[in-house]
Chains A and B, each alone.
Chain A
């Protein structure tokens, strides 16, 4: 269990570094990095809260705290995926509207030029 927590700590620090590097290189915009940074910090906190996890698992009735850890990690990433699904959907809607608007404006400009 301790090894699992240590692995999770390393992974969360790695995730944090990867995201910060991506922000610095402008591969990810700052506003879209917030979810990943939040997830990385949540994982880091979880990995360093062994006694709390053990107590919480015992209280809920889960025999193995690793299962609780897994469930919490899943919840964190489901939250991230849900947020990005919403962002992608909004961006797609905006993209479609913009594409249509550009096409319509081009069409109207051409029409005006032909009439002139």
Chain B
């Protein structure tokens, strides 16, 4: 039995040496009491060294797994170490750590398993490209009937999860482009999520990995992933799963 250990800040990073130090320092300055774990996804640059120098613990993956594998490694470690909550933010500086307390407070108050920092409706705007906005809008329309409720920003990587979700994600997590599929995984378990409006900032450095060429593959991959997860939806099993989790 592991001891409860509070909240962990999780930052997946791949070749983010230009931004990771500043991101870690900002989080550490705002919340010095919270440990920061950078999961280095086999970077070929100085990401791990700079993150460590800025005060983060670094989980170094021996080879590049992609975003899903990288985040899941962090979730697995957090679960094994007994953390009750994990807040995931990106390593490029787009997410404002000032909103972490609000995200955590909403997670606790709502009793939901996941709180999502959505980029829509916040003061800082929603500065993403038009094709990507269109894609996100399509995913929103697709997810609405599956989730039985609207979702504002299904591709946001700014999330807080509690231990119940952590337990599930430590065992099963989508490997590529995980954000959208994660919502369907939550639905399979009859878990709930809540949204918190958080403005995004420009990246400190680097570019999105989803280039125009890759976006086609992204859409197909995500649609297939969602479809497979919908096929796995089993109401009887889901109800049992909730019972098991709440009994713990």
Q: A103-B60, A104-B59 are in contact. Are A96 and B65 (CB under 8 A)?
A: yes
Compute how far the CA of A6 lies from the CA of B49 in the bound complex, rounded to whole angstroms. 63
CB neighbours (8 Å) of A106 from chain B are 60
Using A99-B61, A104-B77, A111-B57 as known contacts, list a sample of 15 further A-B pairs with CB atoms less than 8 Å apart, ordered by residue number in A: A96-B65, A96-B175, A99-B65, A99-B69, A100-B61, A100-B65, A100-B69, A100-B72, A100-B76, A102-B62, A103-B60, A103-B62, A103-B73, A106-B60, A107-B57
Interface residues of A in 75-114 (CB under 8 A from B): 96, 99-100, 102-104, 106-107, 111
Interface of B is mostly: mixed
B122 interface residue, CB < 8 Å from A? Answer: no
What bracket does the count of chain A residues touching chain B fall in? under 10
B141 interface residue, CB < 8 Å from A? Answer: no
Compute how far the CA of A108 lies from the CA of B80 in the bound complex, rounded to whole angstroms. 10
Closest 10 CB pairs between A and B?
Answer: A100-B73, A103-B61, A107-B59, A96-B69, A104-B77, A103-B59, A99-B61, A102-B62, A96-B65, A103-B73
B53 interface residue, CB < 8 Å from A? Answer: no
Q: How many A-B residue pairs have CB under 8 A?
A: 34
CB neighbours (8 Å) of A100 from chain B are 61, 65, 69, 72-73, 76
Contact (Cβ within 8 A) A107 B63:
no
In this complex, the member of B57, B60, B62, B73 whose beta carbon has the largest number of chain A beta carbons within 10 angstroms is B73
- By beta carbon, the residue of chain B nearest A102 is B62
Write the residues of chain B forming the contact surface with A, with a CB cutoff of 8 angstroms. Answer: 57-63, 65, 69, 72-73, 76-77, 80, 175
Compute how far the CA of A111 lies from the CA of B73 in the bound complex, rounded to whole angstroms. 16
Compute how far the CA of A102 lies from the CA of B63 in the bound complex, rounded to whole angstroms. 11
Contact of A104 among B63, B65, B80, B175 (CB under 8 A): B80
CB neighbours (8 Å) of B65 from chain A are 96, 99-100
15 CB contacts below 8 A, A to B, read A96-B65, A96-B69, A99-B61, A99-B69, A100-B65, A100-B69, A100-B76, A103-B73, A104-B59, A104-B73, A104-B77, A106-B60, A107-B58, A107-B77, A111-B57
